[in-house]
Structure formats: structure tokens, C-alpha cells
Amino acid sequence: MPFTKNIIVTGSSGQIGQAFVRHLSQSNEGYYIYALDKNKFKNNKKNIQNIEIDITKEDEVLDFFSDINELYGLVNNAGIGVFTPFLSRTLEEFKNVLDVNLVGTFLMTRESIKIMIKKGHGKIINIGSIYGINSSDFRIYGESGRNNSEVYSISKSGVIMFSKYLAAHYACKNIQINTISPGGIKKNQANEFIKKYNSKNPTGRMAVTRDLLPALDFLLDKKNEYINGENIVIDGGFTKW
Ligand code: NAD
């Protein structure tokens, strides 16, 4: 099958990004994936191009886009958090989180939409978080060192609103822009933390990356020309009570 639909995935070397890139590269939709990350991760498939880039640097982003003429989709997945308590937050930490989660997303999106307008279609998926709609519950995180920060929450609210704003402004150009907001993904968190998190989750477990894939497929589907500006929360019901 020819690879005719170019999709950019940022943060492609991370836990979720790797799962997205692997999944899209195996799809029958003819996707060609630009896997963007500031850290190298080698994908050896003919429909994946690995690109080392810092998405917060405008010159690097413009340089990357100078070679892109066709674009079907953009998945703004790169994101960082900070886990120290608010009262010890440094200005640098605060700015770094906003820089990657919002500035990087802004630069990638602006350049992508320019191409999508010319092509008459486009799908953008921004990765938010449940902590962009709710505060983290400190009773779960305790002393685990995994309690995400106020600035992470602000940045992810910003991502959700960014999607809505742009969805309203570019629907007329046949560009659909939605957010996927995952709950906590299982990695190698402490058992005590996992136990508490699971006990609050109606589904009784943390997410795994494959839980996000149906929504990714659904939002990228060419038949979707009407779901726009939504925030799909994938958390097993964690935020529902
Ligand atoms: P991760 O840390 O495993 O991966 C993030 C990737 O982004 C890394 O490979 C990193 O190198 C890359 N990155 C960071 N700054 C960058 C920059 N300036 N330029 C280019 N690449 C950069 O994180 P993850 O868990 O895979 O998270 C992916 C996304 O999902 C993030 O936006 C995160 O906020 C969101 N999210 C994660 C969870 C979770 O529990 N893991 C839950 C909700 C939302």
C-alpha cells in the first residue's frame, strides 16, 4: 500500500508517543509518520521518519516544516510535567512546562494549519490530561513524588482551550481539532500509589497506552468531519465521581 497520508507525532520517543507511532505505522490507512522528539528513538520502518527536534525552538520547527508539503494529521503529544511542591516551584520550572506544553504545541499547530488550509483538510489531536480539567487529588499521591503540578494543570487546560478555539476558527477550512485527555498511564509507579489510584478508579486500574488507540484512530478517520473541538477523556471513569 502506498503511504499517502503524512502524520506528525511529537514526543514520539516517550511512552505514549512510541505507542502512537507503532500503531499508526501498522495501520492500513497508508500513514507515513514523522516521529519528532528531542531525544532519539530509532524506528526502523519504511513509513516512519525519525526527526530530532526541540519543538520549543521556532527556527527548528520552521526548518522542519520547510520540507513538508503534504500533511494529513498532527498529533501534539510532546509534554512535560514537574512534580515538586508549589511553594518550591522555580520560575524556570514554571516556564519550561509552559514552553513545551503550550509554546511547542502552538508552533507545531500554526505551521501545520498553514499546510492544511492549502490542502483543504486536516486533523489535529492535542494530548491534554485529566489534570487539565480537574485538580490532582493529593490524597492519592501522598509522598509518592508523582503529584503533578499546578503549572502542568494550567498548561493542559490551555491545550484543551487551544483545541476548542482553533476548532471554531478552522472548521470552515475542513480542519478538525480535538483533544485526548488521558488519565494516569501505568509505568513503574510505586505499588502503594497504584493501589490508591486504582481504588479511586471505577475501572479499578490505571490506563495502558493501548487504551488511547481507539480514540486516536477515530479522530484521525477521514470520515470524521464533524467531531470538532471535543475533549475525549480516557481515564476509566476516574474523573466521573
Ligand atoms: P514521556 O515523558 O514518556 O514522553 C514525552 C516525550 O516528549 C519525551 O520523549 C520527550 O523527549 C519529548 N519532549 C519533551 N520536550 C520536548 C521538546 N521540547 N521537543 C521535542 N520533544 C520533547 O511522556 P508520556 O507519558 O508519553 O506523555 C505524552 C503526553 O501525554 C504528554 O503530553 C503528557 O502530558 C500526556 N499525558 C501523559 C499521562 C501519563 O500518565 N503518562 C497522562 C495524561 C497525559
CB 231 within 8 A of CB 178: yes
Please report the pLDDT score of residue 23 as a whole number.
98
CA distances from 21 to 6, 31, 51 (A): 12, 10, 13
User: Nearest 5 degrees, angle CA 228-CA 235-CA 137?
Assistant: 115
More confident residue, 107 or 42: 107
The verdict on the CB of residue 215 being under 6 Å from ligand 1 is no
Mean pLDDT of 54-66: 98
Q: What is the pTM of this model?
A: 0.98
> Which pLDDT band, with edges at 50, 70 and 90, does 17 fall under?
very high
CA 241 – ligand 1 centroid, Å: 27
The verdict on the CB of residue 54 being under 6 Å from ligand 1 is yes
Identity of the amino acid at 132: G
Mean pLDDT of 160-183: 98
Please report the pLDDT score of residue 183 as a whole number.
98
Compute the mean pLDDT over every residue in the chain, rounded to the nearest whole number: 96
- Residues 79-104: b if buried by 16+ CB within 10 A, e if exposed: bebbeeeeeeeeeebbeebbbbbbbb
Cell for 236?
A: 476509566
- The residues, any chain, with a CB within 8 Å of residue 223's CB and separated by 6 or more, are none
Please report the pLDDT score of residue 95 as a whole number.
98
Q: Give the residue, by CA position, lying nearest to ligand 1 atom 10.
A: 11
List, as one string, the DSSP characters of 151-180: HHHHHHHHHHHHHHHHHHHHGGGTEEEEEE
